[in-house]
Amino acid sequence: MSVLLIAEHNNKEVKPFTLNAITAASQIDQDLHVLLIGSKADDVAKSLSEVPLVKKVLHIDHEIYENYIAENYTAAILKHADKYSHIICSANTFGKNLMPRVAALLDISQVSDIIKVISPDTFLRPIYAGNAFATVKSKDEKKCVTIRPTSFEAAETTGGSAEIEKIDAADQSANTKFINREEIKSDRPELGTARIVISGGRGLQSGENFKLITDVADKLNAAIGASRAAVDAGYITNEHQVGQTGKVVVPDLYIAVGISGAIQHLAGMKESKVIVAINKDGEAPIFSVADYGLEADLFEALPQFLKELNKLNTIQK
Amino acid sequence: MKILVAVKRVIDYNVQIRVKEDGSGVVTDNVKMSTNPPDDNAIEEAVKIKESGKATEIVAVTVGEEKAQETVRKALAVGADRGIHVKVDGTIEPLAVSKILKKIVEKENPDLVFMGKQAIDDDCNQTGQMLAAHLNWPQATFASKIEVNDKSLQVTREVDEGLETIEVNTPAIVTCDLRLNEPRYASLPNIMKAKKKPIEQINASDLGVDTNPRIEHIKTEEPPKRKAGIKVASVEELVQKLKNEAKVI
């Protein structure tokens, strides 16, 4: 038995969630190979080879993989998937887009978004926006599994020296063309991996008012999240959305400001270690998951919160 | 241009989910059911494309038990022209649904297939991509904007890093994000009219697709409960608690 993990990267660096998926994959089987499909991504191959949990890096280098296209990745994976018992990747937009295409062509019923490896064929996964947990056992001989990255620690990235094997590319799909990607660059920690997240909801009332959130985020070195309502209202861009269909975050501290706490939002943050809710509606459902609730007008509470933080001698980084 | 839209009947998104005591699943008896929310976006988009004159027919399809027909009927009320209900009892996995939809696509020959990006019950996020694979069609998942051209679509996708735009040649599969559009409500006259629109019933067993589950369901349980928190009286108290009790700042 050996497992094949599909790496997500930008031809320069491994994306962090791949490291979480590596941890999960190694719990399924220690004979873990990573498939890197890219263009001029030798640096990525090298860094993957240094991950101690990785036994081998399979590297496909071809210009058709300069941008990630699920159709092209699928063809490449299928060409090399034969000898593996499991094909694995992270359950973010990368893996969600990719894995079902692979699974269907292998006639495998995929197990999506697992949060625990119980045995090589049995997994725990959330359903109904995390309102229930299902234990499921795959009866397919080969398995396709996606990993909820925030449920597994990131793998160590140094000390390993896995072999890098160059392997062949597959055919390119003629029917899908990459046009562009608007990535919003930010100096802040990434939402999915930040230690502290502060999120704003409809209570902020405008995009300008998000500055109140930004100021606190700067002070705490926190990532900025948002409810779907805030994104839909145009206060902030979509990559900040936390929830069932946005990002799932599990920071040490999650601060929900002006967010009522719809089931769909709770699905994205309720596993956080400490949750703070600031809302002027004392009946808001967000208080039911909050460790510390502050019933207050956010327009008064946030500046005051920043002031109090400034008074502290040290803030953990 | 003909558009096939796949819809699924799920527990309404506002219902508080309850896990059955015997661990066999979640309570569905006497629970409000609705169309899976992003499937509403899929229908809406198809109707908008038809209204713009770029599509001539919309066919709504669902796979599920007898009552799943309600979701097709709702799609007809907002603008689909006719419906197909593939009847199947019990649990059906996305892999089997995608194989059934492939049969329907082969029968109907649509230029586009739309559906929601994810069903909010099993949260699998698989069916569209699987259907695209079976048909060897391009896929544009998590779409928040669709531009219909002559023989292709330009689709903006919601991805972790922001927005990505791809171009796919038709025929193609698009899975829809909630942000794609604002689904309309069906007007009463349209609901009445929809009752006269045809829904073809097909038994899944007649399509020659193996619908036996490949995933054994061992148990369903409640997620661990968070222990009750406290309300703090002031911002000062909050900061002190975070610093000295929770030790997170």
Q: How far is B44 from chain A (nearest CA, A)?
A: 17
The one-digit pLDDT tens for each residue of chain A (317 residues) are 899 999 999 999 999 999 999 999 999 999 999 999 999 999 999 999 999 999 999 999 999 999 999 999 999 999 999 999 999 999 999 999 999 999 999 999 999 999 999 999 999 999 999 999 999 999 999 999 999 999 999 999 999 999 999 999 999 999 999 999 988 777 889 898 899 999 999 999 999 999 999 999 999 999 999 999 999 999 999 889 999 878 899 999 999 999 999 999 999 999 999 999 999 999 999 999 999 999 999 999 999 999 999 998 776 65
Determine the pLDDT at residue A47.
Answer: 98
H/E stretch holding B133 reads: helix B127-135
Domain boundaries, chain A: 3-167, 196-311
Residue in chain B lying closest to A317 (CA): B249
Q: Are B126 and A275 an interchain contact pair (Cβ–Cβ within 8 Å)?
A: no
CATH code of the domain covering residue B187:
3.40.50.620
Cβ contact, residue pair A111, B16, below 8 Å: no
Contact A248, A148 (CB under 8 A): yes
Contacts of residue A172, Cβ cutoff 8 Å, sequence gap at least 6: A64, A72, A75
Q: Which residues of chain B have pLDDT under 70?
A: none
Answer whether A176 sits within 8 Å of B167, measured CB to CB: yes
Interchain CB distance below 8 Å, A292 and B232: yes
| Interface-testing mutation among B149, B157, B161, with chain A (most A C-beta atoms within 10 A) | B161
Q: Is A94 on the interface with B (CB under 8 A)?
A: yes
Mutate one of B115, B124, B127, B147 to test the A interface: name it (highest A CB count within 10 A).
Answer: B124
Domain total for chain B?
A: 1
Nearest residue in chain B measured CA to CA from A72: B138
A3-167 folds as: Rossmann fold (3.40.50)
CA distance A32 to chain B (A): 24
- Residue A250 at interface with chain B, using a CB cutoff of 8 Å: no
Backbone φ, ψ for residue B46 (5° rounding): -60, -45
pTM here? 0.94
Q: Rounded to the nearest 5°, which phi and psi values hold at A64? A: -65, -15
* Element at A42 (helix H, strand E): helix A42-49
Decide if A189 contacts A222 (C-beta within 8 A): yes
Q: State which H helix or E strand residue A137 sits in.
A: strand A132-138
Find, in chain B, the residue whose alpha carbon is nearest to that of A74.
B133
Instruction: Give the minimum alpha-carbon distance from B49 to chain A in angstroms, rounded to a whole number.
Output: 21
Which among B123, B213, B239 has CB closest to A129? B123
Which residue of A lies nearest to B176 if distances are taken between CA atoms? Answer: A245
**CB pairs A-B closer than 8 Å:** 259
ipTM metric: 0.95
CB contacts under 8 A, A 18-57 vs B, are none
> Do B117 and A132 count as a contact with CB atoms less than 8 A apart?
no
Longest dimension (CA), chain B: 68
How many angstroms separate the CA of residue A31 from the nearest CA in chain B? 24
Q: Give the tokens for residue A181.
A: 């990607």
* Cβ–Cβ gap B127/A139 under 8 Å: no
Question: According to the model, what pLDDT value does residue A316 have?
Answer: 64
Instruction: Name which of B122, B226, B230 is nearest A289 (Cβ-Cβ).
Output: B226
Report the CATH superfamily, name and number, of domain A196-311: TPP-binding domain (3.40.50.1220)
Query: A110 and B95: CB-CB below 8 Å?
Result: yes
B141/A275 touch (CB, cutoff 8 Å), yes or no: no
Question: What is the SS3 assignment for B6-75?
Answer: EECEEECCCCCCCECCCCCCECCCCCCEEECHHHHHHHHHHHHHHHCCCCCEEEEEEEECHHHHHHHHHH
* Euclidean distance between CA atoms A87 and B7, whole angstroms: 29
Name the nearest CA neighbour of B132 among A23, A288, A104, A87.
A104
Gap between the Cα atoms of A34 and A58, Å rounded: 6
Domain range for residue B205? 2-245
Residues from chain B contacting residue A252 (CB–CB below 8 Å): 248
Say what the pLDDT of residue B234 is. 96
Q: Give A135's contacts in chain B (Cβ within 8 Å).
A: 217-221
CB contact under 8 A, A305 and B235: yes
φ/ψ (deg, to 5) at B94? -55, -35
